[in-house]
Chain A
């Protein structure tokens, strides 16, 4: 390699390294301001000012969805299994909105501590499977839970289905938010 080429190679490498380092530092510095949504834990512990529009994301708590009769308003709890945030929303629900599913709500805290969402988005996870497979996995998991409750050791062969289900984060309760 000629000296000129070597010099240019070093310069290009230094350029990439420099820009990469600068970007890494900038992203780290802005980490908190770059929060796309607050998990319920962050929402409670960081303390969000009431006038700011933010997003809260988590799972729709099982059994928490309540519809006001005769209106488009629903109320539900968003949870990350540590804290919960009550949310109210008026409008059309996304198709994937259901209990146990991930959800991201954009809005602000109301007077009564309820988070009023202007905008509701459903999250889904990265798992795709035909309905029959999902049913089989679900049934397998249920059987495994039953067995566990009856005091069977956890590593029986029919438990494999449940292990797969847990690994892939399936079974409805999966929430790939990355806190």
Chain B
């Protein structure tokens, strides 16, 4: 186990392993996303209040999960990088940021497309929406801060600090609907109680969530390979790689 861990810390080994892992994420992701799309759009029954309009949940909720999950993953990696000065952890944080930002944007955009017909507004400044917008800015800040330094190592450390500080926003997003009056409804799925959704609707949502997770894993792994290369530029092992590796 330890041996494996150490081996994984070696860039060439990691680069190759990550490359082999990608199809194992990408193919199930594609299948699940396809199944979830068919199930969510065509098989799941319409909602008693919102009719077919509720189907936006199948793209909205998974992107919200990933927006938050991606941030926590990035911040944990950033902390590991800061404490142990681990290059791979910084590379992972760097790979997470743009993907997480994209899902935060998707969450806001699909939420807006859902809000207009149901609530009657595209946007309003309630706790959930505002804190989610702050999350997007945090992601963009982390990306910009890393890019602002000529020295990659300094950029990594500065971005890591911002990522760690921004973590306080995650519980705010999560509990905003419980702490304050909001336009947004409380969570449908929570660990502490049974989901407020019937199985024939929930199954497809969970399919989508797992599909999104695997999609995230595939894209982040691909970016991570790029980040490892950038941090290892000039190393001898890179000579042996061909353009499609």
Contact = CB atoms under 8 A, between A and B. Distances in A.
A27 to B, nearest CB: 8
A40 B58 CA distance: 34
Interface string B113-140: 0000111110011110000000000000
Contacts of A93: 120
A16 B126 CA distance: 25
B180 A94 contact: no
B122 to A, nearest CB: 11
Interface stretch (A67-75, A127-135, A141-149): A127-135
Nearest to A6: B83
A37 to B, nearest CB: 5
A122 B185 CA distance: 11
Interface in B43-84: 45-50, 53-54, 57, 79, 82-84
A139 interface: no
A155 interface: no
A34 B128 CA distance: 12
Contact of A126 (B46, B82, B185): B185
Interface in B4-59: 45-50, 53-54, 57
Contacts, number: 128
A15 B161 contact: yes
A158 interface: no
Contact of B82 (A12, A19, A94, A130): A12
A178 B57 CA distance: 22
A177 interface: yes
Number of contact residues on A: which range applies? Answer: 35 or more
Contact of B185 (A27, A134, A176): A176
A96 interface: yes
Number of contact residues on B: which range applies? Answer: 35 or more
A36 B125 contact: yes
Nearest to B121: A121
Nearest to A38: B181
A5 B84 contact: yes
A163 to B, nearest CB: 13
Nearest to B182: A36
A125 interface: yes
B118 A39 contact: no
A161 B53 CA distance: 26
Given A127-B196, A129-B48, A131-B46, A96 B164 contact: no
Contacts of A15: 161, 164-165
A20 interface: yes
B119 A36 contact: no
B232 interface: no
Contacts of B119: 94, 96, 121-124
Contact of A124 (B50, B84, B121, B178): B50
A35 B181 contact: yes
B186 interface: yes
Interface of B: 45-50, 53-54, 57, 79, 82-84, 117-121, 124-127, 161, 164-165, 167-168, 172, 177-183, 185-188, 196-198, 200-201
13 contacts: A12-B164, A20-B168, A39-B181, A93-B120, A95-B53, A95-B117, A96-B119, A121-B183, A123-B183, A124-B119, A126-B196, A131-B45, A169-B196
Given A12-B83, A178-B181, 7 more contacts: A5-B83, A92-B120, A95-B50, A104-B183, A121-B183, A124-B185, A176-B185
Interface of A: 5, 8-9, 12, 15-16, 19-20, 23, 27, 34-37, 39, 57, 92-97, 104, 119-135, 168-169, 176-179
